[in-house]
A and B are shown apart, each in its own frame.
Chain A
């Protein structure tokens, strides 16, 4: 039998499970408990919403990938310069 008397202790217990919850890795029974708690706990709703947004933000694409000069120096350091061509990446010339 479960009652949803809201206490600070409930929030503490719930906090440790939030990452599993937003990753969908929490078992159904615990999800239900969390959702019941969220229904009447504004603070936890804010935490879960901002935690989810935090993860989403960092999953948004980060455009600058590998700068060309960094790539060039990498290929040089590996002594692989002949293979550094924009496209297609395949055999070096002398082998064709």
Chain B
């Protein structure tokens, strides 16, 4: 049986931005997917692949591996769509498949290289700030340059995997705390603790960058801190 993917459904794929919006269009899409409609599968891939790829790229820190995670995610999603119960949104379900696939690869990679556990984390859930330097840089005023993007990616890559996954889902992809927790299979309070640790570590990393940046700007006697 073949269910036709309606025009409104494909239109929605262009417009929908919010992951959590579990609207009628999504229900129609899921119904078509469950009925084995190939066009529906294409709609799902088109709608969600940029987000899934972004998550995979940030998580893996490597384009080839990100692409493998991306393919794995959608192959698995198309095969197992009948298991999707619709309790979460389709987007959250896909994030879960992708995050699991990515984390599994990262663990395998680690086992193959050196067998050590995640870096030791502070027990009280805090990261004590070492750097207390004001950045003198304002995200609202400046566009991101390439160097800053690279440093931001490095900072993410330096996070332990579990913190990294939490931060990517919550702050980059904009999932709610509840959705993030559900995607990762952890409690909301655990998600909050991980998010806070991740943010504090990233803050520390970026502070080092901005401190060095400011020092070099001061040395040049240059007052433009946007550095093109």
Q: Cβ of A65 and Cβ of B54 under 8 Å apart?
A: yes
A46-B144 contact, Cβ under 8 Å, with A18-B196, A19-B196, A75-B45: no
The one of B140, B148, B196, B206 that contacts A16, using a Cβ cutoff of 8 Å? B196
A42-B27 Cα distance, complex, nearest whole Å = 51
A75-B30 Cα distance, complex, nearest whole Å = 19
- B residues contacting the other copy or chain, number (CB 8 A): 56
Q: Cβ of B7 and Cβ of A78 under 8 Å apart?
A: no
> Taking each of A12, A43, A59, A62, which has the highest tally of chain B beta carbons within 10 Å of its own beta carbon?
A62
Contact with B along A52-66 (1 / 0, CB 8 A): 011111111010011
Number of contacts between A and B (CB, 8 Å)? Answer: 125
Q: Cβ of A89 and Cβ of B139 under 8 Å apart?
A: no
A66-B50 contact, Cβ under 8 Å, with A46-B133, A50-B206, A75-B45: yes
B54 partner residues in chain A, CB cutoff 8 A: 62, 65
A interface majority secondary structure: helix
Q: In chain B, what residue has the closest Cβ to A88?
A: B10
CB distance from A94 to the nearest CB of B (A): 12
B199 partner residues in chain A, CB cutoff 8 A: 19, 51, 54-55
Q: Does A32 contact B (CB under 8 A)?
A: no
A47-B203 contact, Cβ under 8 Å, with A83-B39, A89-B42: yes
A88 partner residues in chain B, CB cutoff 8 A: 10-11
Q: B85-135: which residues lie under 8 A (CB-CB) from chain A? A: 124-126, 128-129, 132-135
A24-B49 Cα distance, complex, nearest whole Å = 31
Q: Does B78 contact A (CB under 8 A)?
A: yes
Q: Does B190 contact A (CB under 8 A)?
A: no
B128 partner residues in chain A, CB cutoff 8 A: 12, 15
A73 partner residues in chain B, CB cutoff 8 A: 67, 71
Q: A29-87: which residues lie under 8 A (CB-CB) from chain B? A: 43, 46-47, 49-51, 53-60, 62, 65-66, 70-71, 73-75, 77-78, 80, 83-84, 87
11 contacts between A and B (CB under 8 A): A12-B128, A43-B129, A50-B135, A54-B206, A58-B152, A58-B171, A65-B50, A70-B53, A73-B67, A89-B42, A89-B43
| Besides the known contacts A25-B177, A73-B67, A78-B71, 15 further A-B residue pairs in the complex with CB atoms under 8 A apart | A20-B196, A51-B203, A55-B199, A57-B152, A58-B152, A58-B202, A65-B54, A70-B67, A74-B67, A74-B74, A75-B45, A78-B75, A83-B42, A89-B43, A90-B5
